[in-house]
Amino acid sequence: MDWPCLSPARWQWVIALRHPSLKSKKYLESRVTRVLSPSQNRVVPPCPHFGVCGGCKWQHVDYSEQLRMKRKVVADALTHIGAFTDAVVCDAIPSENVYGYRNKLEFSFGDRRYKLPEEMGLDETELAKPADYALGFHVPARFDKIVDIDACLLGPTEMNEALSLVKAFGRARGLSIYNTREHKGFLRNLVVRKAHATGEFMIYLVTSEYDEDLMAALDAELVTQFGDRLTTFVNGVTSRKNTVARGDEDIVIRGPGTITEKLGPFHFAISPVSFFQTNTVQAERLYDEALRVAAPKPDDIIHDLYCGTGTITLWLASRCRAVVGCELEESALRDAEANARENRVDNVRFLALNLKNYAAAVRELPSDLRPNIVVVDPPRAGLHPDLIKELRILDPERIVYVSCNPASLARDVKDLCSDGAYHLGPVQLVDLFPHTAHIECVVALERTD
């Protein structure tokens, strides 16, 4: 889809062609063939890959209009899915930077480059780029084809320099690319991370096997290009039959193997596969909003569910008696505990809890660790139905919901507020992902008694 909205008042006289392959039991999708009269909110997208790359699909929309539309998406979800007739949805807090804001980009190698429309019918000798070598992003809904990217405007300069260098290095040496159908080939993924606050820079190359001489040669070229700007270079090695940018074994070629990012007063060590919000500046604003609506008092006990590496846990800790971070992923829990030690926060505790039996697990805790405030930051799928039941049993005085998916947010808060048990407070939007349809929300549910 080339447009985020087809409101007649804003997108006038769009000629669209129905595409049979996009047919679904519930809906049809169309593709724009020509815009006869553009909206006043339409702008010229600066990225040469726009319309082909599946990343920033809203680059052609003025940023203020993007924020208005995101607010409408959240409001519509709460009305139509959540059945809230009087929900208060606040204007989104805009991103400080709308380009160059990402602290991580993840590229994939592919031996089937996606051909642009203007390349159709050309002989391979007439193509500007080889058809069997690409490094970039997956074509939407295609796991086997890659859009070759020259530069991504969402990342800082170093990330695009690394993209060009690694791409040229592989081509010059004739390195094979992992084929997702035959499960053969050497080059898999390139992940680049740059800490916003410290400027530390990481290159993570995922391959099917380890070649010491080859990695030494690449390291030498990286040092020539980046010098002191390169903090660490890691080779992830995996033989798994998937396209996930993660090695079963990580071999540190240069540096410590991690970079350090700073959020507010806290420092976080980030490994190649650590989860970390990709917009550092806006992440701070998101966590500030979570703290504001949680409104903890000095004697409160807070549970942070889906705590991951403990970023929100640490953010809350200075304003209450204790915070318990709950997570099942063992590696995330180890990172969370390390982050607490590194930042000398001693009123937090991390537990591996099965959230499907959360209320029973809480009853086993000492009384001074049982929560009166619960913070949830679930994945896009939202809360498991069993956890919603457990939260209703536990009945905390306040539930703070941090959401990355308006649809699952609306569904979950509807269930939590059923029978008048909780009251839905104002929903605050924070835009972490300009030029995309994604939006983060924070809202507090107050127990009605």
Report the catalytic residues: 404
Name the nearest CA neighbour of 101 among 229, 196, 204.
196
Alpha carbon distance 145, 132 (integer Å) = 10
3-state secondary structure of 349: strand
Name the nearest CA neighbour of 189 among 211, 172, 206.
206
Query: Residue 147 CA to chain centroid, in angstroms?
Result: 20
Alpha carbon distance 385, 18 (integer Å) = 37
For residue 55, what is the DSSP state?
Answer: S
Alpha carbon distance 238, 253 (integer Å) = 16
What is the biggest distance separating any 2 CA atoms in the chain, rounded to whole angstroms?
Answer: 74
First to last CA, the chain: 47
Q: Strand locations in 333-438, DSSP E?
A: 348-351, 373-376, 398-403, 422-424, 428-430
Alpha carbon distance 87, 421 (integer Å) = 16
Contact 57, 435 (CB under 8 A): yes
Q: At 145, which amino acid appears?
A: K
Q: Strand locations in 76-228, DSSP E?
A: 104-110, 134-138, 146-148, 187-194, 201-207
3-state secondary structure of 127: coil
Place of tokens 């809480």: 362
Burial tier of 34 (Cβ tally within 10 Å: 0-12, 13-18, 19+): exposed
Tokens (6 digits) for 69: 């539309």
Contact 317, 294 (CB under 8 A): no
Name the nearest CA neighbour of 191 among 286, 87, 278, 91.
278
Distances (CA, A) of 45 to 58, 63, 178, 358: 9, 11, 32, 47
